[in-house]
């Protein structure tokens, strides 16, 4: 595989060659690409990342036979904008309506599956592609992930044998609230409970559901690896296994703490990635767009703020991988008039700095405004833990957890990762942290200005006014239907 420095000369040779030579060159060089994308999972819960509550043999295999990234982050801890950033290789503040949950991705934003298809790839997806939101409102005639298939096996069987393929497997999250608990194969006594959540039956019920979903995802990925292996295609397939955003627990997604943005990530590509590589650089899921194009020998569009992961996966150095910036705009319709809770954050190896642009709003959703499916505090999904905290919020043993998950937050937050890896003690007001606070505040501002964030360039920040394409009708107040 050529490096980024070598790639332009190869592309120039192919571009000036006759068409049949270009096709032969593409077929000889370009790998198949399989993206396995989970829905609402956090980084520490695979066996290869330190969890021993369940077995995840297929993620572990990809990590063992390829590269494991230990500091990977989504661009937004919310399904639709996270997927938009993966598809476009861009930060969500550059994607207009694409920055919101239940939004749409305007067709003028180029997506990597279309680029691969134009270069000769056979593409498709199953499950949850770009979602939830509207495809048509963005001026598109199909999902940005490509044509939909019932399964990977159907896609693989129907593919043209003379073309490389790209396939997006989107794990579909089904909310298990109120459903029977299956404890099979889960050693929950080994769970390290995040310090912002109480150890209670409600939490354990949610984690049983969570780990069953994660095991099912891992098994599904295993079945796809088996299809490739049986067909002799595994070694020429770049396999990526990750998730779109963090776990759907209070103070998990859609927040900018690590449990909302931190993701497991492993890449396997036969002999192109040596087994056992562990990369500790800070990377983001938008980088997958550039990675796939790089693997296919295609140029990365200038609009993409993503960078290929292949040098890191292959054990080479890559400069300026010492921070990531994450963002959140409107998640659920959980406040009157559809107001969101805008945030930006910069994460380094030692600190997390968060800027809350509207601290007068509640970060979990309005406490009395009822979301059509999630209830009050609608930015937190229905789960036993949510309702346990809400029902018992006045009890002294529960109140600190309730305040962390549901309470208001100041305009700035600062956390020391060495002293506080779960990010529960805000140091922003501490005199001894003033220098670090100023440094990260300024660094974040410069990055947002450079990359064109409307919240820092003087352009209108319109996310609160963009359409919300959910199938249900939002409410304007408790129990009041929208006109």
Q: What is the C-alpha to C-alpha distance for residues 218 and 215, in angstroms, rounded to an integer? A: 5
Q: Does 1 map to a domain?
A: no
Domain boundary among 301, 318, 335: 318
Q: DSSP letter string over 212-261?
A: HHHHHHHHHHHHHHHHHHHTT-GGGEEEEEEESS--SSTTSTTSSSHHHH
In a domain, 149, yes or no: yes
Instruction: Indicate whether 77 and 112 sit together in one domain.
Output: yes
Domain tally, the chain = 2
**pLDDT at site 230:** 97
122 and 195 belong to one structural domain = yes
Q: How far apart are CA 327 and CA 309, in angstroms?
A: 21
Question: Do residue 341 and residue 235 come from a single domain?
Answer: no
Are 448 and 440 in contact by the 8 Å Cβ rule? The answer is: no
Domain assignment present for 5 = no
Per-residue pLDDT of 338-387, as tens digits, reads: 999 999 999 999 999 999 999 999 999 999 888 888 889 999 999 999 99
Quick one: 96 and 230 in the same domain?
yes
Q: What whole-number distance in Å separates Cα of residue 87 and Cα of residue 69?
A: 20
Assess whether 313 and 335 both reside in one domain: no
Of 61-75, 208-222, 366-380, 388-402, the least confident: 366-380
Report the distance separating Cα 167 and Cα 152, nearest Å: 8
Residue 344, domain CATH = 3.30.1120.10
Does the pLDDT of residue 271 top 70, yes or no?
Answer: yes
Say yes or no: 119 and 195 in one domain: yes
Please check whether residue 481 lies inside any domain of the structure. no
Residues 241 and 369 occupy one common structural domain? no
Average pLDDT over residues 224-252: 98
Is 11 part of any domain?
Answer: no
Cα dist. 380→163, 225, 255, 401 in Å? Answer: 43, 34, 10, 14
Q: In this predicted structure, which of 10-14, 170-174, 430-434 has the lowest mean pLDDT?
A: 10-14
Q: What is the pTM of this model?
A: 0.92
314 & 358 share domain: no
**Average pLDDT over every residue of 295-319:** 97
Percent of the chain with pLDDT over 90: 87
Same domain, 250 and 348: no
Looking at the domain assignment, is residue 222 inside a domain?
Answer: yes
Establish if 383 belongs to a structural domain: yes
Q: What is the pLDDT of residue 16?
A: 34
The residue segments making up the domain with residue 359 are 326-469
Residues 147 and 193 occupy one common structural domain: yes
Domain boundary residue, one of 291, 318, 345: 318
pLDDT tens string 397-448: 999 999 999 999 999 999 999 999 999 999 999 999 999 999 999 999 999 9
- pLDDT, residue 474, reads 59
Q: What is the CATH number of the domain that holds 72?
A: 3.40.720.10
**Do 80 and 37 share a domain, yes or no?**
yes
Q: Residue 178: which pLDDT band, with cuts at 50, 70 and 90? A: confident
Are 213 and 70 found together in one domain? yes
């Amino acid at each position: 595989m050529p490096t980024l420095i070598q790639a332009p000369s190869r592309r120039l040779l192919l571009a000036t060659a006759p068409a049949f030579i270009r096709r032969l060159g593409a077929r000889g060089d370009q790998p198949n690409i399989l993206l396995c994308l989970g829905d609402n999972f956090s980084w520490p819960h695979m066996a290869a990342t330190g969890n021993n509550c369940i077995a995840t043999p297929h993620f572990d295999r990809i990590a063992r036979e390829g590269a494991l990234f230990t500091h990977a982050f989504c661009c937004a801890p919310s399904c639709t904008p996270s997927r938009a950033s993966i598809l476009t290789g861009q930060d969500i503040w550059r994607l207009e309506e694409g920055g919101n949950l239940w939004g749409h991705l305007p067709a003028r934003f180029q997506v990597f599956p279309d680029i691969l298809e134009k270069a000769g790839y056979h593409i498709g997806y199953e499950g949850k592609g770009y979602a939830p939101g509207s495809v048509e409102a963005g001026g598109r005639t199909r999902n940005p992930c490509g044509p939909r298939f019932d399964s990977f096996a159907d896609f693989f069987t129907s593919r043209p044998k003379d073309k490389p393929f790209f396939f997006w497997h989107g794990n579909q999250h089904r909310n298990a609230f109120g459903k029977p608990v299956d404890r099979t194969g889960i050693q929950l006594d080994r769970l390290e409970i995040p310090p912002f959540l109480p150890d209670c039956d409600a939490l354990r019920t949610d984690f049983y559901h969570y780990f069953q979903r994660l095991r099912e995802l891992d098994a599904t990925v295993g079945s796809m690896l088996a299809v490739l292996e049986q067909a002799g295609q595994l070694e020429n397939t770049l396999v990526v296994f990750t998730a779109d955003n963090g776990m759907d627990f209070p103070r998990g997604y859609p927040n900018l703490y690590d449990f909302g943005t931190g993701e497991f990530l492993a890449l396997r590509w036969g002999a192109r990635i040596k087994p056992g590589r562990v990369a500790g650089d800070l990377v983001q899921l938008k980088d997958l767009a550039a990675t796939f194009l790089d693997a296919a020998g295609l140029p990365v569009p200038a609009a993409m703020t993503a960078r290929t992961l292949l040098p890191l996966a292959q054990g080479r150095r890559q400069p300026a991988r010492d921070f990531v910036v994450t963002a959140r705009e409107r998640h659920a319709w959980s406040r009157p008039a559809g107001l969101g809770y805008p945030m930006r954050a910069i994460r380094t190896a030692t600190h997390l700095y968060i800027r809350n642009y509207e601290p007068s709003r509640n970060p979990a959703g309005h406490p009395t405004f009822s979301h059509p499916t999630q209830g009050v505090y609608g930015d937190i999904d229905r789960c036993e833990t949510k309702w346990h905290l809400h029902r018992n919020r006045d009890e002294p043993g529960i109140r600190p957890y309730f305040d962390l998950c549901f309470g208001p937050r100041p305009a700035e937050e600062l956390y020391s990762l060495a002293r506080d890896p779960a990010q529960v003690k805000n140091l922003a007001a501490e005199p001894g942290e003033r220098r670090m606070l100023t440094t990260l505040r300024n660094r974040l501002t410069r990055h947002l200005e450079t990359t064109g964030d409307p919240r820092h360039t003087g352009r209108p920040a319109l996310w609160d006014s963009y359409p919300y394409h959910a199938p249900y009708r939002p409410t304007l107040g408790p129990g009041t239907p929208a006109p």
